Amino acid sequence: MYQDLLRMDLEPAEKQVLYNHYAQSLYFDRKDQTDHDQSLRYHMKAAAVPVQSFYRANSIKVLEKIKNKREHRMCREIEKFLENLQEP
């Protein structure tokens, strides 16, 4: 279902919602570390959409938690991403 939606031409705010929900779905249904990494990448996509919303704030919050724990292998990548994140 998500793969079909990801291929659609959506407005930025709609993409942001989709990315956030897909990230959460990947996280909660994860089978291995790859799914967790993909979840974080979709949170990054949601945060990168320049629309101020609950979904953007939620994705940024998730990414900041991972960054602050400093245990995940994507920690440095997330830290750089958040440093360069533009305000909407």
**Closest alpha carbon to 46 in 67, 16, 25:** 16
Q: Which domain range does residue 53 map to?
A: 2-84
Q: How many domains does the chain have?
A: 1
Phi and psi at residue 36, to the nearest 5°: -65, -45
**Whole-model pTM?**
0.91
Rounded average pLDDT per 10-residue block, the chain, 88 residues: 86 96 91 88 98 98 94 93 93
**Main-chain dihedrals φ then ψ at residue 23, nearest 5 degrees:** -60, -45
Token digits of residue 83: 């440093």
pLDDT given for residue 61 in this prediction: 98
| pLDDT value of position 67 | 94
